[in-house]
Structure 1
């Protein structure tokens, strides 16, 4: 009679039985099997690396739910797959190229994409094998990758449907920009980190009178793109100045003093600088008052020709030099330490630059409405309940979603243009001419 081993040996037990389950197709769901349908599509892990402990926990929960449903006689399928993770995957392949002393531009688009596909083949299969080692009861006959032909067609189909309904549009708006990755980011991809910065109080001379307005900013380099200063219309301290102009320091540009309800008279001096091309709130105010939009930086975070004497400087070098020049001119009232949340790229940790850029957006208000109603009428409940307020605050103030990225790896936007007549259209297939 065989004795039980004193220690559990997973290699002897787990590999044998998982192989048996696969051969018997224990995890394969079929519509002919009958029973109430039960399906989980795995939240696809990125092909940027391998699974970690968080994946193990998450996938274990899905496995338990799937196995319980299967034992209850439901027609059960758990669909496995991996995500192409556009920015993240391109970033890790670019880092690998950097070790070889190369950039993606050295390779060119086609050769670079070949390298990324090689990366995907290596790490995509590793992830699948890790799930099998966990004993995950996935239906491996249905394994998918988010850039498989079928899924790519689905992405293109949905884009075209939304475009035809005017739910997707190309707009010139403020977006989160990563100067290192040189791409737009969504709000979710710009991770805000509390950092100790400074609040710079700067003096702007009012034209025609012996008076200076003090504005406070955390990004003084953007003042080079100021096109107005604003006060609250009910702030009696500045009511007589509305309609006058100030002289923007360094570049000596004459800009108007405007009144807008957005300005909080209790914050700082009650005067704010308006830079429509570098701040989302300033952008909206600029639209209301028909202000010019002056972008003072390049895609790489270098000051451009609009920055006058600072052209060619890195944005943070410009900040240092600009402050020295303003101090020398007696135009700095004070500099105080200031803790504030600064956006960082979720992949390379570069400080994100809010900037005006032509990008593609999804209109979100109408999409958010049924999601708001579902929580409002109790169909969806948050536990604990206090998260209702957070959710509602986010959804009711939701902004249009930036969906375009300036990268090579991923689904390309299926928009085409006619050079002769300027016609623009979305297409499910490549145009013949």
Structure 2
């Protein structure tokens, strides 16, 4: 992405603006899509809680982003490539006539906001079924300011050290979105510990059609995510669009191939997960690789991530919905393979190993991956520990056993669940409306 330039005398291009308006709406739709994707993957007793963790992230991150996040991420650098200034706190100084490149600055800021929203929401999948909702309300805005905003400045902000000093490439968010959310999810897994019954009880997705619907909405929105990052209705957007489609397809096929060979059954969950893995990996590289490169990137992610999701059982961390195995691992794959498949006709200069660029670009990509993953993990671990000491981050055993839907939100997703034929529930967890008997 280009750095922010505000030119009062410039005028926005109507075609570019129209495309970015559509792309912004597409990316915002990804968070409700993620809610459905995650909601279908959990058990019936915590479906609503999973949906709520995504939806509330929209509200929390929006407030933080407009108050200070945008200014710190995309304001003029004041910290040696580490952070932007406070010139635009509360969106000050940015009117309808301000332009970023060929689009209104207000639209660019909103487009970037949708990235921040889904990145925070992604983390919830790693800690599903066991989080205090009140603690999540504190974590999201703090994390957005301390982790997402600085990394975004490093990668895309004016003077950010990764883009401007290191020279690593990231077209649409492998570093600030995928690797950051995956590393942060891993940190919180370690802070909270595993779910009750982890590695003992079956914790199968309760609604695979919901998972597939969520995956479809994510894939649909991803075209705005990646092609929108061209910030214009142009050939680069078209190339990113096609690369996104191609990588999602090979990711899906790669995952299914592994399932068939390993387990003897290609599954719907595998198809959804493989498509997402391919889309994750192509996110940083969609504006740097050719169509052939995109096909390989997606296939590599589908195959590797299908194995990576099982690492949690080997290394004993409970990544509930495979955020680490898909987003962290997929983000690393896509970011590193830029150093192999980057082609000058896409990047406008830097080339990868296969196109005569040597190992230089691969080395830059590796440094960026390690720096971002380490920063996100360490800071998130610290935030998680502080919240845990101050108010407790994990739900009680009783809440987790009964289900967070009923105990936290006083609701259930399905009438035939806990409130129907399940075990008796104390009236203290019911809302006034639920305590009233229906007429016979």
More strand by share: 1
Greater relative contact order (Cα < 8 A, sep 6+): 2
Larger radius of gyration: 1
More helix by share: 2
Q: What TM-score results when the alignment is normalised by the length of structure 2?
A: 0.21
TM-score, normalized by length of structure 1? 0.21
